Amino acid sequence: MSDRLERGQSEHTERVEVDEHIEASPSEVFEYLADPARRPFGRDDFLTLGDEVAHEAPVSTEAGRLAWEVTVADGVERHPGTVEILVRPEGTGTRVRVTHRIASTVGTPSAVRVLALAA
């Protein structure tokens, strides 16, 4: 458990996933998303991109992968997370899956309350 957690709290990960087909080649989609000037995220105070942790361009029929460490601001706190993008050929275009994982802190019920609810 993290040192920053208070008693009665635990850390869990929220996950948001988007899976879309784009009528463009995997290399075109990958180049677009890998270009910081054209990337459609990480330009505001809500999501701040950190270190790039993966940059594997698609080759032939193989998938490509981009991933970054991120910090997400929810208006009160900042939470660490990751953004991962998988790009793979699909038909005449590309299947793109974006997965955003965010660590967040939640209150955990006391053992007494859990037992009371179970009764």
> What pTM was computed for the model?
0.68
Q: Is 81 exposed, middle or buried (0-12, 13-18, 19+ CB in 10 A)?
A: buried
Task: Grade residue 86 by pLDDT with cuts at 50, 70 and 90.
Answer: very high
What percentage of the chain reaches a pLDDT higher than 70? 70
Radius of gyration of the chain (CA): 19
Topology of domain 10-118 in CATH is Alpha-D-Glucose-1,6-Bisphosphate; Chain A, domain 4 (3.30.530)
Residue 119 has what pLDDT?
A: 36
**Residue-range domain boundaries for the chain:** 10-118
- Cα–Cα distance list, 52 to 69, 84, 104 (Å): 6, 10, 21
> 33-84 pLDDT, tens per residue?
888 787 666 556 667 777 778 888 888 778 899 888 888 777 777 788 888 9
Closest listed residue to residue 74, CA positions, set 50, 39, 102: 102
End-to-end CA gap in the chain: 29
Residue 40 DSSP one-character state: S
Give alpha helix (H) positions in the chain: 26-34, 111-118
